[in-house]
Amino acid sequence: MATTNKQKIINDPVYGFITIPGARVFDVIEHPWFQRLRRIKQLGLTHYTYPSAQHTRFQHALGAMHLMGEAVAVLRAKGIGITEAEAEGANLAILLHDIGHGPFSHTLEQTIVRHLMHEDLSKLFMAALNDYFNNGLTLANEIYNDTYHKKFLHQLVSSQLDMDRLDYLARDSFFTGVAEGVISYDRIIKMLTVCNDELVVEGKGIYSIEKFLISRRLMYWQVYLHKTVIAADVLLVNLLKRAKLLGENGIPLFATQAFRAFLYNNPSKHDFETDPKWLDCFALLDDFDVFTSVKAWAFHDDPILSDLCTNLVNRNLFRVEMQTQPFDDAYVEQVRCKTIALLNLAPQDVHYYFTCDKVENKAYNPRHERIMIKGKSSELTDISEASEQLNNAVMPTTVSKYLLCYPKEVQ
């Protein structure tokens, strides 16, 4: 019986050649649950604004794994003790960090699968995969859940300066073509070290960290919180809310078997933890399930669902007004009333076409976890205090913008 060659090299447009580090990692990548990530776009509907943003969570996970390998090699060269088992565990932890994402992940969390965040689902998937691989992912789970005694390994997976963020900024800027998001990921990794079990940055890497934080803030305004991206997301959220309402009221809806299960049921976190069928069902969901339904629902008898779906398919998006101050209450009410009148809506249905909300952008939050700079005398200083370029009073500040979404036909 022929054996599979598990020594694979993948050609990645961002980093060049990526090597799969070992047979177990290869087997995890080959598992259907991980292969599902090929069918989930990393940036959801962002391609409605940046047409080339078609990359997937599969690509992102492989890229983050590649950066993890680079980081482990750098730390080992600096005398930081990392065993082969720990290196494999860290690679598997970062490889699987996004496995709990569903189609249009954050959108689905608000509408269809409302009782779990993708982080919760990732933990459930990793625990199930650990059973499947006969406890071969135990160390990876400990690193991911921050229960392993070497805390810096978890920081490589999840922190202010983890391999996840380094890859998604590099990859998202590459595929959107937004040059402001380009970061020196290779320089940052080479400047990493460990002090007192904490991942820190050598002092000469401070300028790369400054650029990283500025690039992250700019990417949020230019890509993740771009008003056209928001317009598409709001439209998708609203049509899924309408579909969910119809499903809960027993109205027939076209859907794949897996998607139907979540349209007509509301499984809780406890249900996912106690009944394996829900995790198996979720593992069958991807972008194709949702958008195939959206195309079919464009011809549904429900006029609101049909209209919203037709608009999304044809990219007839909402108008979005965005400003730094809250909108005047009288103006908000005027737009809302005009939307009701124009579309001949019942007042209780206007929320499908009218949204007043707020978005926030915070590039650095030292209260969550700090980026520490190691000085010449080995003292550790927070980046917001060590930097000459970044104002300590500005960087931790959350910048809020207020938005109104409504049909373009409303004048």
CATH number at residue 202: 1.10.3210.10
The token pair that represents 4 in the structure block: 């599979």
CB half-sphere exposure, 80, CA atoms < 13 A: 23
Same domain, 154 and 77: yes
Q: Is the pLDDT assigned to residue 305 strictly greater than 90?
A: yes
pLDDT at 348: 96
Decide: 51 and 298 in contact? Cβ < 8 Å. Answer: no
Q: Is the pLDDT assigned to residue 380 strictly greater than 80?
A: yes
Domain boundary among 225, 250, 274: 225
Residue 408 domain-assigned (yes or no): no
Same domain, 220 and 316: no
pLDDT at 300: 98
Q: Is the pLDDT assigned to residue 176 strictly greater than 60?
A: yes
> Which tens digit of pLDDT belongs to each residue from 65-85?
999 999 999 999 999 999 999
pTM across the whole model: 0.94
Same domain, 56 and 179: yes
CATH number at 335 reads 1.20.1250.30
Residue 161 domain-assigned (yes or no): yes
Domain boundary among 198, 225, 252: 225
Same domain, 273 and 168: no
pLDDT at 395: 61
| Whole-Å CA distances, 123 to 4, 85, 126 | 29, 20, 5
Same domain, 220 and 237: no
> Which tens digit of pLDDT belongs to each residue from 92-140?
999 999 999 999 877 777 788 877 888 899 999 999 999 999 999 999 9
Residue 403 domain-assigned (yes or no): no
Domain boundary among 225, 248, 271: 225
The token pair that represents 280 in the structure block: 């198996």
DSSP 117: -
Residue 148 domain-assigned (yes or no): yes
Same domain, 189 and 302: no
Q: Is the pLDDT assigned to residue 164 strictly greater than 70?
A: yes
Q: Is the pLDDT assigned to residue 368 strictly greater than 80?
A: no
Same domain, 67 and 214: yes
pLDDT at 1: 41
Instruction: Kindly indicate the confidence band of residue 333, based on its pLDDT and cuts at 50, 70 and 90.
Output: very high
Q: Which helix (H) or strand (E) holds 381?
A: strand 380-382
Residue 213 domain-assigned (yes or no): yes
Mean pLDDT (whole number) for 337-353: 96
Mean pLDDT (whole number) for 370-397: 79
Structural domain span for residue 153: 9-96+137-225
pLDDT at 116: 81
| Number of domains, the chain | 2
Mean pLDDT (whole number) for 182-206: 95
- The residue behind tokens 């496995």 is 99
pLDDT at 366: 66
Residues shown for the chain: 411
pLDDT at 246: 95
Same domain, 192 and 289: no
Residue 2 domain-assigned (yes or no): no
pLDDT at 236: 96
Decide: 52 and 177 in contact? Cβ < 8 Å. Answer: yes
Q: Is the pLDDT assigned to residue 182 strictly greater than 80?
A: yes
Decide: 41 and 102 in contact? Cβ < 8 Å. Answer: no
Residue 409 domain-assigned (yes or no): no
Same domain, 190 and 239: no
Decide: 384 and 214 in contact? Cβ < 8 Å. Answer: no
pLDDT at 3: 56
Distance in angstroms (rounded) separating the CA atoms of residues 142 and 150: 10
Same domain, 162 and 300: no
Distance in angstroms (rounded) separating the CA atoms of residues 295 and 37: 22
Same domain, 143 and 215: yes
Same domain, 296 and 156: no
The token pair that represents 298 in the structure block: 């464009």
Residue 411 domain-assigned (yes or no): no
- For the chain, the average pLDDT equals 93
